[in-house]
Chain A
């Protein structure tokens, strides 16, 4: 296995805009990287450039320290599992898994040994004689993983391998992939548009949008320290509450007053705010900001007269019971805020409630650059 490095990689398909614009990231030896982004953002293109199926317009790709820009997929020795499995229909499962080794001209005995090992590790030993056509989705997926794993490649690439697996077995298949990574210590790059999958699998996630890498970080980073508004809105379920506000910082009070209704404001006493944060926010005094708070961190309480730090009064619209917790939607001046609550709450739809967020749980974004105000 090997380290994968991309350096300012561009891909142009002939259109005005590049499909991938200067991708730079490193996947360490044995690391599990997930490329995450909405449809059409260039994930597959990036992956295909690493494989060698697609030429690189500019930039450098290194596998194990070696520049591979001009090498064929064969010379790069990368393995790839495809969204549609791409099993070879005229070959049996055994022959499918053996295929890459046969191409490499390994001995019959060695092929046989490897195929059986890999098949056993993925519990598909019993279907080796079958043809792909008759297999269930989950089985096909495992066969395609087996075919990729069998050759001990330098890096293991997967393009949405779970998107065609039925929802009820997807969770298991995902765990299986994680398990494969744990036991094989393979360098893996995994593409998905599903943030739940990304967060569950990745050591680090590379978030892409419109061909540009938005942020590279651990799932926790993305969740609590999103680099910009795109990442903040894309990661997390339900998505982060984002409210356009104006920021003022004077008289010992930080106020984020709603642009739609300036008398509504999130207020925090500066004495409770860390020095670094104050300094960073000071630069945005009297300027528009986007105020963000995760639904998990927005507390729903009974409205109290002595309005404390960072709270607003709203009207409860709906509350849904979700088993281990609940989700509420509350309206404040026409804006709906989402909020994760206890499974049951002592309020009815239509009741007035207080919505509050502690200062350490809120994020401020600069609407001009869309970047989070760092502190």
Chain B
């Protein structure tokens, strides 16, 4: 009895340390976002300070921090939304039929083809960015939403194909066949029978793909300009040559993370399952 209690204590201690390790940077950023310009840079760091909403107000153009407003941030935020949503939408349109085909049909070189899609994810983005830069300049895709959404397919499409495939595979074929013998057309079977059954998985893969797109940095940095770059790149604009706007940057980070947190928590339950399923198949 005594021994197990001791063990339990150790486990809790370990969990506590891990929790601190993971949460400390987050807490730090959140704290920073509520600090005034002076408090942010004070040494030693202040844990007790008068919170201020100046940074947030500035971001939304309702105030200033020093001479700066943060309204450019809003356009970066908008860019992020357009890019991530656009990419995920395009990936569904392309990826869902592909995932269904991989799950249900037998055809030549199926696995090789599926793996080819997956391999897009293995290539370090940095290796293709230079040629893409040149090509994009030539094709007038540089600094356009279309161009970025296209290149974002490298992130979202393989992911959507593989994850949705595993969800489609989970649905017994017989259910589809039954619906078809009972009088449903093929399309109706897919949209009314298969899709609702796969819905949680489909939602999870969409959200995850959205998050991956949202987090991307390098494509926006290299292939976009200030009118199309996402927040991840936009944050750099708070680093001037002679001054870094820590408070504004922290507040911007917090805001940029909020949509992801909400999405991730809402589908957390399905995500782990989908990911591991995809892995064993």
Contacts and interface: CB of A to CB of B under 8 A. Distances in A.
Most chain A CB inside 10 Å of its own CB: which residue of B175, B178, B181, B185: B181
Given A88-B193, A89-B197, A100-B182, A83 B174 contact: yes
A13 B183 contact: no
B185 A86 contact: no
Nearest to A103: B183
A13 B184 CA distance: 24
Given A13-B106, A82-B174, A53 B193 contact: no
A262 interface: no
A11 to B, nearest CB: 13
Contacts of B182: 79, 99-100, 103, 147, 151
Contacts of B197: 89-90
Interface residues of A, number: 28
Given A99-B182, A100-B183, A103-B182, A82 B196 contact: no
B180 interface: yes
Interface in B179-209: 179-185, 193, 196-197
Interface string B147-177: 0000000000000000000000000101101
A286 interface: no
Given A88-B193, A90-B196, A90-B197, A72 B185 contact: yes
Interface of B is mostly: helix
Interface in B79-121: 106, 108
A51 to B, nearest CB: 6
Interface residues of B, number: 17
Interface string A92-105: 00000001100110
Interface of A is mostly: loop
A86 B180 CA distance: 12
Nearest to B174: A86
Contacts of B108: 14
Contacts of B196: 90
Nearest to A153: B181
A78 B181 contact: yes
Contact of A74 (B106, B174, B183): B183
Nearest to B107: A14
Contacts of A14: 106, 108
Contact of B177 (A72, A86, A100, A147): A86
B26 to A, nearest CB: 39
B169 to A, nearest CB: 14
Nearest to A90: B196
B177 A74 contact: no
A328 interface: no
B184 A103 contact: yes
Contacts of A144: 178
Given A13-B106, A88-B193, A90-B197, A82 B183 contact: no
Given A13-B106, A89-B197, A90-B196, A84 B174 contact: yes
B184 A80 contact: no
23 contacts: A13-B106, A14-B108, A48-B177, A51-B177, A52-B181, A53-B177, A53-B180, A53-B181, A74-B184, A83-B174, A84-B172, A84-B174, A86-B175, A86-B177, A88-B178, A88-B179, A88-B193, A89-B175, A103-B183, A144-B178, A147-B178, A147-B182, A151-B182
Interface of B: 106, 108, 172, 174-175, 177-185, 193, 196-197
Sorted from nearest, which 10 A-B pairs have the closest CB atoms? A86-B174, A103-B183, A86-B178, A100-B182, A82-B174, A74-B183, A73-B181, A80-B181, A86-B175, A84-B174
Given A52-B181, A78-B181, A147-B178, 13 more contacts: A14-B108, A48-B177, A51-B177, A72-B185, A74-B183, A74-B184, A80-B177, A84-B174, A86-B172, A87-B175, A103-B182, A103-B184, A147-B182
